[in-house]
Amino acid sequence: MTEYQQEQFPIPTPGRLRRELRLRKPPWWMVAGLIVVIIGTWIPLYLIYKKRNSYSTQPKIHYIQDMDLQPGFRAQQPSTLFDDGRAARAPIAGTVARGHLKQDDHYYRGYHTVRKGAAEMIEFFDSVPGRVKVDNKLLARGRERYDIFCVVCHDSNGAGSGLLHQRALTLKETKWVPPTNLLTQEIRDRPAGQIFQAIGDGVRNMPGYKTQISVEDRWAIVAYLKQLQASQPVASVEKKTKTAK
Amino acid sequence: MSTDSTTGSASARFLFPRWANYLVPGLVILAIGILTYVPLVTWLFISPETTDVGYQPEQPVAFSHKLHAGDLKLDCRYCHSTVESTSYAAIPDSKTCMNCHASIKSDAESLRLVKESFSTGKPISWLKIHDQPDFVFFDHSAHVNHGIGCVTCHGRVDQMEVVRQEKSLSMAWCLECHRDPTPHLRPRSEITNMDWAATQINKTQAEIAKELLEEYQIHNSAFLTNCTTCHR
């Protein structure tokens, strides 16, 4: 045994103190290990910090599956069963769901075909159908829908220089056809049914909005458009050349 | 330590070195450390704030909301047209894109897939970003028609070049609002307005919320936090 351990009250000479202190220290590898562990604990924290402050292209990992992913299909989900890759199926051609016959030409199409002698003619209805009650609520709805679907091209006053039109001009798109000015006398004279039909099926270079706007909303837009035209001065009839600038 | 062991004598005993006096308090501190550290890190690690937020996959077509919804000021409902009437906010079909792209940038390479999809009828396989577990019932129309705007749950989509998940969509997040939706209510007409604030119509949020709670007849928190509201 070392000498100093036998002594009960050793006199603390500098040499003894030094030895004493050295021996109170744990061995270096333990100290080093501790430092490594302490630094190591920051690594997961740093990784979490990084994950929280960056974007990832990897989907989340479902650590606990529960019933997160069920075999049933939800809207717009893909399916490998069918050729077109869709899980949703269209109704079989030639069938009509109950209550969806859409016989009311005025309401659903805005025109009907009439026989004049041998020829079949298309005749537009010149009014909003009776099923649609034109009141402030409908006009407000029409305005809202117009702002959603038409403003990009026709602008909020209907004159036809919406943001998309301006963009197309700056891009110098050769295929771009300027949107019709809806305030001209020509368009004002259009029967309501024709405008309804134009919104649904499109006209020439204007796309149809059948899939995006419901029938009620299309009539609401027609009613609002009539009101908008009444509130704006008649635009001079500029013969628009049908080519883009 | 080998230096501490005796040399020679048969009564060779192991003597703890003096630093071992620190061992017990040291171990206590270590135990406390581990017991707080491990749960903390686990909690941080599996929390939806870490795992779900920030998911920003690369889509098959480099579609930019910043351009379409921000610069062109297209309303969200132009494309996500079912959001007010159904639970699901439909991703637009390629016909919707062709409304404009038939004549704009019609030859761009970036739009090849869209045109292909339009002519063949094969859908574009967009990746779903916000994805709730299938056992959760979520309904867009219930929220949008009761005065909760897109921006509350999806962030500034109109400033995102590529959409990402901004909110955790965890149950705690849903419940926080269902307990008290007042800080988030806005008039129905401002649903898609990305920078609407109550101050724009010279009212405080509290005043507006009070009116709208009444007008939209929003259920009380007992109904909205009932398990069957979201798990049915």
pLDDT tens track for B144-154: 999 899 999 99
CB atoms within 10 A of CB A164: 23
CB contact under 8 A, A173 and B41: no
3-state SS, residue A123: strand
Q: pLDDT tens digits for B52-75?
A: 888 989 899 989 999 999 888 899
| DSSP notation for A71-98 | SS--TT-B-SSSTT-BSS-PPPTT---T
| Residue A100 resides in a domain | no
Q: pLDDT tens digits for B169-191?
A: 999 999 999 999 989 988 888 89
Q: Global pTM?
A: 0.87
The larger pLDDT score, comparing residue A236 to residue A14, is at: A14
Give the residue extent of every domain in chain B. Answer: 18-51, 56-91+126-230
Share of chain B above pLDDT 90, in %: 34
- The two tokens of residue A148 are 């959603």
| Chain B residues touching A211 at Cβ < 8 A | 93, 95-96
Average pLDDT over residues A218-224: 91
Asked whether the ipTM of the predicted complex exceeds the cut of 0.85, the reply is: no
| Residue A165 resides in a domain | yes
In Å, how far is B4's CA from the nearest CA of chain A?
8
Going from the C-alpha of A158 to that of each of A187, A215, B23, B129, B141, the distances in angstroms are 11, 21, 83, 37, 30
Give the end-to-end CA distance of chain A in Å, rounded to a whole number.
105
The pLDDT value recorded for residue B213 is 87
Average pLDDT over residues A36-41: 92
Going from the C-alpha of A126 to that of each of A73, A204, A228, the distances in angstroms are 44, 21, 17
Q: pLDDT tens digits for A200-210?
A: 888 888 888 98
Whole-number average pLDDT of chain B? 87
In Å, how far is A84's CA from the nearest CA of chain B?
6
CB within 8 A of B53, min separation 6: which ones?
Answer: A52, B165, B166, B167, B168
A111-116/A119-124 β-pairing: antiparallel
Of B48, B95, B134, the CB nearest to A69: B134
Average pLDDT over residues B73-83: 91
B133 touches A: beta carbon within 8 Å: yes
Domain that holds residue A198: 136-241
CB contact under 8 A, A44 and B58: no
Tell me, rounded to whole angstroms, the distance of Cα A115 from its chain centroid. 45
Average pLDDT over residues B81-87: 90
CB contact under 8 A, A148 and B75: yes
In Å, how far is B61's CA from the nearest CA of chain A?
15
Residue B122: is its pLDDT beyond 70?
yes
How many domains does chain A contain in total? Answer: 1
Average pLDDT over residues A182-188: 85
The pLDDT value recorded for residue A6 is 55
The pLDDT value recorded for residue B6 is 44
Of B45, B58, B121, the CB nearest to A84: B121
| Chain B residues touching A17 at Cβ < 8 A | none
CB contact under 8 A, A163 and B106: no
CATH of the domain at A201: 1.10.760.10
Residue A241: is its pLDDT beyond 50?
no
CB contact under 8 A, B57 and A57: yes
| Residue A86 resides in a domain | no
| Amino acid in the structure at residue A94 | G
Average pLDDT over residues A97-102: 86
User: Nearest residue of A to residue B53 by CA position?
Assistant: A52
Q: Calculate helix-pair angle for B23-46, A42-52, nearest 10 degrees.
A: 20
Q: In angstroms, rounded to a whole number, what is the distance separating the alpha carbons of residues A19 and A225?
A: 98
The pLDDT value recorded for residue A123 is 82
Residue B9: is its pLDDT beyond 70?
no
| Residue A163 resides in a domain | yes
B196 touches A: beta carbon within 8 Å: no
Instruction: Select the residue from B6, B19, B43, B189 to test the A interface by mutation, using most A Cβ atoms within 10 A.
Output: B19
CB contact under 8 A, A26 and B22: yes
| Residue A15 resides in a domain | no
The pLDDT value recorded for residue A81 is 85
The pLDDT value recorded for residue A237 is 60
Lowest mean pLDDT of A40-44, B17-21, B77-81, B185-189, name the range.
B17-21
Phi, psi of B62 (to 5 degrees): -75, 70
DSSP state of A121: E
The larger pLDDT score, comparing residue A13 to residue A1, is at: A13
| Residue A42 resides in a domain | no
Residue B15: is its pLDDT beyond 80?
no
Average pLDDT over residues B109-129: 88
Residue A49: is its pLDDT beyond 50?
yes
Confidence of residue A2 (pLDDT cuts 50, 70, 90): low
User: Nearest residue of A to residue B122 by CA position?
Assistant: A84
Q: In angstroms, rounded to a whole number, what is the distance separating the alpha carbons of residues A175 and A204?
A: 13
Residue A184: is its pLDDT beyond 90?
no
Average pLDDT over residues A167-194: 84
CB contact under 8 A, A57 and B164: no
The pLDDT value recorded for residue A162 is 86
CB atoms within 10 A of CB A170: 7
Q: pLDDT tens digits for B179-222?
A: 999 899 888 888 998 888 878 888 888 888 888 888 888 888 88
